Chains A and B, each alone.
Chain A
């Protein structure tokens, strides 16, 4: 699976939008972009995923560039509870016997400031 690069840390003011970038310049055509977050001392939480088109759910929006080499996770109105490490992962989604391993990078520590 392709590797990703993310900034080590970011700050965001409470109530403002948090934009977390991710670079995945070696992504393959059949690889999806997944975002998870991990609040301190908890298991990771799924946020959103996409292939080509932009996606939105109740938690966040995912903007994928046309060449798919980078993406941005947007938390529209960050709260203090959004402080966490955010992981951007690319992986193939395939059926059959594949294990769909998720390989975590170092992620971005988002600190939402009051």
Chain B
């Protein structure tokens, strides 16, 4: 159980275009999902917290208009990198925290997706 998927696993896009990355919790509900970015040989950096049915909370220094997050259902959050540039090339990872609306299965644990490798040319 507790599987998180990401799609696509790899994407190459041209500079100036937008790309959407999906994060799905496959066998549990997640009111909260998190988006991280990881550059080569560096640690994961938290970008934003995605809350189902409400606006995302962005970490300091992360442009909310560039990294659009939508958490429309309890099993899906999307990250759209708008007007991508080569410096946006990175490994994007999501995680999902188990917990439905009624909190009956509330868990503090986070489960991570396999990541999406974005390359902007």
Contacts and interface: CB of A to CB of B under 8 A. Distances in A.
Contacts of B109: 46
A44 B110 CA distance: 10
Interface string A68-106: 000000000000000000010000011100011111111
A104 B93 contact: no
B111 A99 contact: no
B6 to A, nearest CB: 8
Contacts, number: 53
A100 B112 contact: no
A104 B110 contact: no
Interface residues of B, number: 26
A57 interface: no
A99 B97 CA distance: 9
B91 A41 contact: yes
A30 interface: no
Contacts of A45: 112
Contacts of A100: 32, 97, 108, 110
A46 B4 CA distance: 13
A84 B93 CA distance: 17
A38 B36 CA distance: 13
B115 A101 contact: no
Contacts of A44: 44, 93, 95, 112
Contacts of B45: 104
Interface of A: 36, 38, 41-46, 87, 93-95, 99-107
28 contacts: A38-B44, A41-B117, A42-B115, A43-B6, A43-B113, A43-B114, A44-B44, A44-B95, A45-B112, A46-B110, A46-B111, A46-B112, A94-B108, A95-B106, A99-B34, A99-B57, A100-B97, A100-B110, A101-B46, A101-B49, A102-B95, A102-B110, A103-B46, A104-B36, A104-B46, A105-B43, A106-B43, A107-B43
Given A45-B112, A46-B110, A107-B43, 8 more contacts: A36-B112, A43-B4, A43-B93, A43-B95, A43-B115, A87-B43, A95-B106, A104-B44
Shortest 8 CB-CB contacts between residues of A and residues of B: A43-B112, A104-B44, A93-B108, A104-B43, A44-B112, A99-B49, A43-B114, A43-B115
